[in-house]
Amino acid sequence: MKKLLRPLAVIAGLCAALPAYAEFPERPIEIIVPFAAGGGTDIMARLFADALEKEIGGTVMVINRPGAGGEVGMAEVAEAQPDGYKLAILNTPNILSIPIERKARFTTESFDLLGTIAEDPGTLSVHANSPIKTVKDLVAAAKEKPGQLTYGTAGVGSAGHIAMLLLAEEAGISASHVPFTGSAGVRTALLSEDIEVATANLGEAQSFGAGQPWRILGVMADERSAQAPDLPTFKEEGFPIMAGSLRGLGGPKGMPADVLEKLRTAMKAVMEDKAFLDASAQAAVPIRYLDAEGFARALEESNQSMLKLWQAQPWKQ
């Protein structure tokens, strides 16, 4: 009997030494999207969740928690149990602009980062009837009537608002901000010519402009987008600014190391999966993968730019 118990004890010891994620996930993983359903972030999250299920070996659910420019959803995850079962889509500039603008329930340090999924550069668009044909034309028009050129955004501190403030700072112009509760309102206002300029990320602008009298002036990226290779960058037009939305994934700070490693490994596999990449391309999701370290560096660099912008042109209303 003792001979039998000895190998059993060895086996039990080996099992106890196995990493915790041998049984992770034991229940559904939630990905919180801090914006309403149907937008670019939501579409991206659902495509990613479907692919992650196959890699992680468990159910992955997407849950929308819109409110306060993304603060409601991101705060929920920042304050959740750090067990790997509740993750958040983390978008710039919101994850940076909210803690700068006001006392928030999170900062970038509230999350264990997994990596990025997509980066959607900012754009500015005008109605097809507008005499403004280029970014240079836009800057010239703003200088002709300081503070009068109207531009619409999805709200104070949104990606579009920050993008226009960056251009204003770089070009030495001022314009009149018209905030809406979402990008759909911006689209309607431009097409009805109630505003002169619309801010939107590239994917949104292309969708809004399909079959409509809508002219995209350029993209706020370091290089031309494969999604729209004919559109010049703002840098080419003489205004070297980069803006838009880098979209990544993270969980509450303090997740177990083995669970975190499994999630990061699964995410990397998803970002190399041809079916996911093809589906994303079809949905006009501009994929860009950075690992956790790369995501952290990108956030730190963007945060420095945001702090500088806040000192020059605080966006709080």
Cα(89)–Cα(299) distance, integer angstroms: 14
Longest pairwise C-alpha distance within the chain: 95
What pLDDT digit, counting tens, does each position of 153-180 carry? 887 788 899 999 999 999 999 999 998 8
- Residue 14: per-residue pLDDT: 46
Contacts of residue 86, defined as CB under 8 A and 6 or more positions apart, other chains included, come to: 29, 30, 32, 76, 77, 80, 251, 252
Report pLDDT digits (tens) over 97-129.
999 999 999 999 999 999 999 988 999 999 999
**Separation between Cα atoms, residue 108 and residue 93, nearest integer Å:** 11
Q: Is residue 109 within 8 Å of residue 78, measured between CB atoms? A: no
Average pLDDT over residues 219-247: 91
> Per CATH, is 27-119+244-312 categorized as 3.40.190.10?
no
pLDDT at 16: 45
Q: Which token pair is 87?
A: 């993750």
pLDDT band at 317 (very low <50, low <70, confident <90, very high): low
Contact 115, 267 (CB under 8 A): yes
Q: For the residues 124-136, what does the mean pLDDT come to?
A: 97
Rounded mean pLDDT of 259-268? Answer: 98
Judge whether 142 and 175 are in contact, CB under 8 Å: yes
Q: How much is the pLDDT for 23? A: 84
Q: What is the 8-class DSSP label of residue 246?
A: E
- Entry pTM: 0.80
Least Cα distance to 21 among 106, 84, 110, 87 occurs for: 84
Mean per-residue pLDDT of the chain:
90
Domain 121-220, what fold?
Answer: D-Maltodextrin-Binding Protein; domain 2 (3.40.190)
**Alpha carbon of 316 to those of 97, 161, 177, 184, 246: distances in Å?**
10, 11, 12, 22, 22
Distance CA 124, CA 133 (A): 11
Helix axes 257-271, 40-56, angle to 10 degrees: 110
Q: Where are the domains of the chain?
A: 27-119+244-312, 121-220
Domain 27-119+244-312 and domain 121-220 have a common topology = yes
What are 249's strand-pairing partners? 89, 115
pLDDT for position 21: 41
pLDDT digits 0-9 by tens, 5-64:
455 554 545 444 444 445 899 999 999 998 878 777 888 999 999 999 999 999 999 999
* Phi, psi for residue 128 in degrees, rounded to 5: -60, -20
Distance in angstroms (rounded) separating the CA atoms of residues 269 and 9: 37
* pLDDT at residue 18, rounded to an integer: 44
